[in-house]
């Protein structure tokens, strides 16, 4: 279990440094979006890249194999990002953001549907520094699984464009 040789340690160290340098180079070439969580597909790419890095670092895959896998995964992300500009393709690849709270009221049906508990939601409200629940205009479960809290005296309707359930907010609450 704890048996290792200096050769094993050397190989792991060299592979870890090499794959780290490769990742930095690929990210510099592909851009900052490489490890963003702008969509569920981006999140999947981040997880896959982490798995590839770990596999190379612990010797499950060679450096060249890891490089090829990383380039293929990030290349696929780039292609999907370009295709997502088409609305129909975007619907296939991305989840739809969902309204979880409107005008200080938790939307139990949406929370049940998305498996978000009231405890989860209250934690996010605290994280967003909400001091008065009546000032919460909307809470949205984003396509990435993040939860956005929109609070204040008014809400620009364009912020909820494409959000499922946004029609539950009264038109009078929106600011043009």
Provide the angle, in degrees to the nearest 10, between the axes of the packed helices 63-83 and 6-30.
20
Distance of CA 122 to the CA centre of its chain: 21
- Per-residue burial over 48-71, b if 16 or more Cβ lie within 10 Å, else e, is bbeebbebbbeeebebeebbebbe
Alpha carbon distance 48, 173 (integer Å): 41
Report how far apart the first and last C-alpha atoms of the chain are (Å, whole number).
64
Burial class, 10, CB count within 10 angstroms (exposed 0-12 / middle 13-18 / buried 19+): exposed
Enclosing H/E stretch for 149: strand 147-151
Rounded to the nearest 5°, which phi and psi values hold at 149? -115, 120
The pair of three-digit structure tokens given for residue 109, joined into one six-digit string? 């049906």
Which of the given ranges, 48-62, 74-88, 137-151, has the highest pLDDT on average? 137-151
Band of pLDDT at residue 22, cut at 50, 70 and 90: confident
Convert the pLDDT of each residue in 59-108 to its tens digit.
Answer: 778 888 988 998 899 888 888 888 878 877 776 777 789 999 999 999 99
Give mean pLDDT, residues 113-118: 94
DSSP bridge partners of 156: 175
Task: Give pLDDT, residue 176.
Answer: 42
Whether the Cβ atoms of residue 101 and residue 133 lie closer than 8 Å to each other: no
Q: 39-43, 53-57, 82-86, 94-98: which range is least confident on average? A: 39-43
**Given this model, what pLDDT does residue 31 score?**
74
Tokens 């939601």 belong to residue: 121
Q: What percent of the chain has pLDDT over 70?
A: 91
Q: 98 phi and psi, to 5 degrees?
A: -125, 135
Q: What residue has token string 């780290």? A: 20
């Amino acid at each position: 279990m704890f048996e290792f040789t200096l050769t094993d340690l050397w190989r792991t160290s060299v592979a870890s440094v090499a794959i780290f340098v490769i990742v930095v180079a690929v990210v510099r070439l592909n851009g900052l979006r490489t490890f963003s969580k702008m969509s569920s597909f981006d999140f999947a790419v981040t997880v896959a890249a982490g798995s590839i890095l770990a596999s190379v670092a612990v010797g499950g895959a060679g450096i060249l194999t890891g490089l090829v896998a990383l380039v293929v995964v990030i290349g696929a992300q780039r292609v999907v990002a370009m295709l997502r500009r088409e609305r129909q393709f975007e619907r296939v690849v991305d989840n739809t953001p969902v309204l979880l709270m409107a005008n200080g009221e938790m939307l139990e049906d949406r929370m049940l549907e998305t498996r978000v508990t009231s405890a989860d939601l209250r934690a996010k409200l605290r994280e967003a520094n909400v001091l008065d629940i009546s000032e919460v205009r909307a809470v949205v479960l984003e396509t990435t699984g993040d939860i956005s809290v929109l609070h204040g005296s008014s809400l620009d309707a364009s912020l909820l464009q494409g959000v499922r359930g946004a029609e539950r907010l009264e038109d009078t609450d929106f600011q043009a």
